């Protein structure tokens, strides 16, 4: 049985109010009744403001948005509204145009406010195939704004979105889109909210497992005092297991990200289909500036199941991924027990995993200060880089200060099908590609501590699950750091280790150092009980370099070496092929 909406209004008015200020007006659908072509509540106001307050919608099955609220000029407010246990389906029949489809709530206005909104236990699934449709972007909640948008006391919990078509791009359970016709600066602020246990499953590509923001470069986006936990994005190409923000200046303040993930999926229609995953909890891209302050990232992860592993798969940023940012500040944050698991028993080529806690690429300037990276692990069956963090791409200046790296690991899990493998940088890997002679080395590390970080190889029995130290291994480089150009001062390296078939740089391994502007170590850099161990060859319990390292290092080295347990050579100038 099909039914149309119970309320549909088109008004030319200064203001419109719908709802209840005393208690809650409940809309509960009858079993077997489907809302078809019209929203349950549809309000279109051409002039003035519109408010919906004190409404509960539950147990409905709908092919159209439950609430459609459009205010052409004035602000739109949804307050004290509950949507729970609704089942939503949209055929996404678009003709031949690009469209954004919402299945529960759509708000379009110059100014949008969503306060005390509860969206729990809702499901959107199995969108129908339409051969004539162009790309369709699907989100259960769509908010389009051209001024300010505020979300306060949002509960986004236990919702599910499933899309099974390759021509669908899914952007979050809640998607915020800035009106491209608006020529001013838009601001978006979400505060004191809970985003938890949401799942987005897409056939191919998705961005933001729970929450996605698409803005313009000049716009400002702020998340403050948000709890983000247990959200999962399942797809072949995923960005932001919980939250993804594109093209805005971003602030993430005093937030908690726990147990969010991207799990890559299988597509049996392709014989070789590389998987990509960036940012298990939070993904930021194309931003002028990003500030992440006072946040905790715990137990977030990226996973490449063995059956979905294909050559060229690339998993980076188990907790936080930042791509193309002019200026990043990461202040007073904790990254603990985050991980990437890209190990597989399939006979495949390059599978690369980088930065179990943090991945940065093409970030021009960054300041990482008073942070802690502990017990983060990156695991791969081929290439594992940056147990805690990985930095790549051209950048002019990145400073890491007053920061602790401890008990992080880069691990390669060997099996009978493993070919040549590499593990580098138990804590931090940095490849800057070039240096600016005006500023010196692009990476500056000062007043930091690197303790008990490891690069290692293990053998896994996939039948029993037992893991043991590998008797055959690949190249292990840089127990704490693997870098090209760097300046280090007032920093301690203790009990770090690189163990493999070839083991070099128990504390630091250098990639391709250049004659200018040089790499500087000192003053006050201490190396204590670091170890480089190789089954066939090893060297540099403290440091190892490629060719020409002597030209760079001898007059710049101001370090103190103590090798209490493994009295290997402090410095190794050995060429290592990687």
**Which sequence spans correspond to the domains of the chain?**
1-128+135-219, 255-578
At 345, is the pLDDT very low, low, confident or very high (cuts 50, 70, 90)? low
Residue 46 has pLDDT above 60, yes or no: yes
Q: Indicate the pTM of the whole model.
A: 0.88
Give percent of the chain above pLDDT 70.
Answer: 67
Confidence at residue 81, expressed as pLDDT on a 0 to 100 scale: 86
Angle ∠(207,362,290) on CA atoms, nearest 5: 65
Confidence at residue 164, expressed as pLDDT on a 0 to 100 scale: 67
The residue length of the chain stands at 578
Confidence at residue 272, expressed as pLDDT on a 0 to 100 scale: 53
Query: What distance, in Å, lies between the first and last C-alpha atoms of the chain?
Result: 66
Q: Rounded to 5, what percent of the chain is helix, strand, coil?
A: 0, 55, 40
At 308, is the pLDDT very low, low, confident or very high (cuts 50, 70, 90)? low
Confidence at residue 416, expressed as pLDDT on a 0 to 100 scale: 52
Of the two residues 285 and 69, the one the predictor is more confident about is 285
Output the six-digit token pair for 127.
Answer: 């969108």
Residue 161 has pLDDT above 60, yes or no: yes
Output the six-digit token pair for 343.
Answer: 């190990």
Tell me how far apart the alpha carbons of residues 72 and 96 are, in angstroms, rounded to a whole number. 26
**553 — alpha (psi -120 to 50), left (phi > 0) or beta?**
alpha
At 563, is the pLDDT very low, low, confident or very high (cuts 50, 70, 90)? very low
Cβ-contact 563, 520 below 8 angstroms: no
Tell me how far apart the alpha carbons of residues 274 and 272 are, in angstroms, rounded to a whole number. 6
Confidence at residue 293, expressed as pLDDT on a 0 to 100 scale: 98
Confidence at residue 511, expressed as pLDDT on a 0 to 100 scale: 77
Least confident of 334-348, 493-507, 527-541: 527-541
Cβ-contact 504, 479 below 8 angstroms: no
Tell me how far apart the alpha carbons of residues 351 and 304 are, in angstroms, rounded to a whole number. 10
Upstream peptide bond of 158 is cis (omega within 30 degrees of 0) = no
> What's the pLDDT tens digit per position in 437-467?
555 568 899 999 999 999 987 765 443 445 5
Distance of CA 72 to the CA centre of its chain: 35
Confidence at residue 10, expressed as pLDDT on a 0 to 100 scale: 47
Output the six-digit token pair for 252.
Answer: 């993430």
Confidence at residue 578, expressed as pLDDT on a 0 to 100 scale: 36
Residue with tokens 């188990």: 318
Cβ-contact 293, 261 below 8 angstroms: no
Least confident of 13-22, 151-160, 164-173, 196-205: 13-22
> What's the pLDDT tens digit per position in 402-431?
999 999 999 887 765 555 577 888 999 988
Residue 4 makes CB contacts below 8 A (sequence gap 6+) with: 35, 36, 37, 38
Of the two residues 347 and 261, the one the predictor is more confident about is 261
Output the six-digit token pair for 119.
Answer: 């969206």
Handedness of CA 126, 132, 135, 137 (dihedral sign): negative
At 549, is the pLDDT very low, low, confident or very high (cuts 50, 70, 90)? very low
Q: DSSP string covering 134-152, please? A: --EEEEEEEEEESSEEEEE
């Amino acid at each position: 049985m099909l039914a149309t909406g119970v309320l549909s209004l088109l008004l030319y008015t200064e203001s419109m109010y719908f709802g209840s200020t005393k208690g809650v007006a409940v809309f509960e659908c009858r079993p077997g009744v489907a809302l078809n072509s019209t929203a349950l509540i549809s309000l279109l106001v051409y002039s003035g403001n519109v408010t919906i307050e004190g409404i509960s919608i539950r147990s409905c099955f709908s092919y159209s948005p439950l609430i459609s609220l459009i205010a052409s000029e004035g602000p739109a407010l949804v307050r004290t509204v509950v949507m729970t246990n609704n089942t939503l389906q949209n055929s996404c029949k678009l003709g031949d145009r690009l469209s954004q489809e919402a299945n529960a709530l759509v708000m379009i206005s110059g100014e949008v406010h969503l306060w005390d909104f509860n969206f729990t236990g809702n499901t959107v699934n199995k969108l129908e195939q339409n051969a004539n449709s162009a790309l369709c972007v699907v989100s259960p909640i769509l908010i389009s704004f051209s001024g300010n948008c505020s979300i306060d006391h949002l509960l986004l919990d236990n919702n599910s979105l499933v899309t099974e078509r390759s021509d669908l791009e899914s952007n979050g359970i809640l998607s915020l889109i800035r009106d491209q016709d608006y020529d001013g600066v838009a601001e978006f602020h979400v505060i004191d909210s809970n985003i938890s246990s949401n799942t987005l499953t897409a056939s191919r590509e998705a961005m933001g497992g729970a929450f996605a923001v698409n803005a313009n470069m000049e716009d400002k986006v702020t998340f403050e005092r948000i709890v983000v936990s247990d959200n999962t994005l399942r797809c072949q190409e995923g960005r932001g297991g919980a939250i993804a923000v594109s093209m805005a200046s971003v602030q993430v303040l005093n937030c908690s990200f726990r147990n969010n993930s991207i799990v890559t999926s299988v597509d049996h229609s392709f014989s070789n289909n590389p998987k990509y995953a960036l940012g298990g909890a939070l993904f930021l891209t194309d931003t002028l500036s990003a500030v992440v302050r006072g946040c905790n990232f715990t137990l977030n992860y990226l996973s490449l199941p063995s059956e979905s592993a294909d050559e060229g798969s690339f998993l980076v940023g188990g907790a936080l991924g930042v791509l193309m940012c002019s200026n990043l500040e990461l202040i007073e944050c904790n990254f603990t027990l985050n991980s990437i698991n890209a190990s597989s028993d399939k006979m495949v080529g390059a599978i690369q995993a980088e930065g179990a806690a943090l991945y940065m690429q093409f970030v021009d300037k960054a300041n990482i200060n008073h942070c802690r990276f502990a017990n983060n692990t990156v695991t791969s069956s081929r290439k594992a880089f940056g147990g805690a963090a990985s930095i790549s791409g051209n950048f002019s200046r990145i400073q890491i200060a007053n920061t602790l790296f401890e008990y992080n690991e880069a691990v390669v899990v060997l099996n009978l099908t493993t070919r040549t493998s590499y593990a580098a940088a138990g804590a931090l890997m940095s490849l800057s590609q070039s240096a600016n002679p005006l500023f010196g080395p692009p990476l500056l590390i000062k007043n930091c501590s690197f303790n008990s970080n490891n690069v290692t190889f293990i053998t896994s029995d996939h039948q029993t699950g037992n893991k043991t130290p590998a008797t055959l291994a690949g190249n292990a480089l840089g127990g704490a750091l693997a870098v090209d150009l760097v300046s280090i001062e007032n920093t301690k390296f203790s009990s770090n280790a690189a163990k493999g078939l070839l083991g070099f740089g128990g504390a630091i391994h250098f990639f391709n150092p250049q004659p200018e502007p040089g790499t500087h170590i000192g003053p006050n850099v201490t190396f204590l009980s670091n170890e480089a161990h190789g089954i066939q060859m090893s060297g540099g319990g403290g440091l190892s370099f490629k060719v020409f390292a002597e030209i760079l290092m001898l007059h710049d080295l101001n370090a103190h070496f103590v090798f209490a347990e493994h009295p290997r050579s402090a410095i190794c100038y050995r060429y290592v092929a990687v």
